[in-house]
Amino acid sequence: MSETTISLKKNFPNFSNDLIEEIEAHCSFQTFKSGDIVMRTGQYIKNTILILKGQLKIYREGDDGEEFLLYYLEPGQACAISLICSSKNQTSQITAKVVEDVEAVTIPLTLMDKWMMNHRSWYEFVIYTYRTRFEEVLEVVDNIAFRAMDERLEFYLKRHAKACGCKEINLSHQEIALELNTSREVISRLLKKMEQRGLVRLHRNQIELMI
């Protein structure tokens, strides 16, 4: 049994053996380094990607370079947006950037429809991915529409900690401000207030979450 097969079975336990055999036979194993851009806005999508290791950040990018975080991708997950775009041969409306070194399997567009018909476990995975990502994006929209910036910041930090499975968030105040579409000064002030309330501990380019 190859290392890729072992990793697929570990991260995608609901995939049937037949599906895993097809993935091994027709798909490509790839690695990406932290900071790499895996997908860009406006790019035609020819593949979808299954994450085996590491973390990807999926976000929208504004005209002035500002970022709007949608969600993170972790082992055992795929990008719902790339699944939708690839099935319709559309260009990407998002950017995917590597946060932690990634090991992944890329699946050609030509296999998507075939697997939806021939592999029940793939069909169920795609539907589950659509649903969970849609719910997550709705949560982000609700957070922006109905919460003040201090609540948005707390939500953002908790979400980031959940995504990385850690309490130490290695982001600068400027990086957070960019993703929340506000200024570094606002983020620094709100973080200081959170520290005074015992919710975080602030270190150089690191935030330790206490909640």
HEC profile of the chain: CCHHHHHHHHHCCCCCHHHHHHHHHHCEEEEECCCCEEECCCCECCEEEEEEEEEEEEEEECCCCCEEEEEEECCCCECHHHHHHHHHCCECCCEEEEEEEEEEEEEEHHHHHHHHHHCHHHHHHHHHHHHHHHHHHHHHHHHHHHCCHHHHHHHHHHHHHHHHCCCEECCCHHHHHHHHCCCHHHHHHHHHHHHHCCCEEEECCEEEECC
Question: Which pLDDT score is estimated for 208?
Answer: 92
- Domain coordinates in residue numbering, the chain: 3-144, 147-209
Fold of the domain built from segment(s) 147-209: Arc Repressor Mutant, subunit A (1.10.10)
Question: Which pLDDT score is estimated for 128?
Answer: 93
pLDDT tens by residue, the chain, 211 residues = 788 889 999 999 999 999 999 999 999 999 999 999 998 888 888 888 999 999 999 988 877 767 788 888 999 999 887 777 655 667 788 899 999 999 999 998 788 888 999 999 999 999 999 898 888 888 878 877 778 899 989 988 988 888 778 888 888 899 888 888 888 999 999 999 999 999 999 988 889 998 7
The pTM score is 0.74
At 163-204, the pLDDT tens digits run 778 888 888 899 888 888 888 999 999 999 999 999 999 988
In this structure, is the dihedral angle defined by the CA atoms of residues 80, 86, 92 and 96, taken in order, positive or negative? positive
Its CATH class, for the domain covering 3-144, is mainly beta
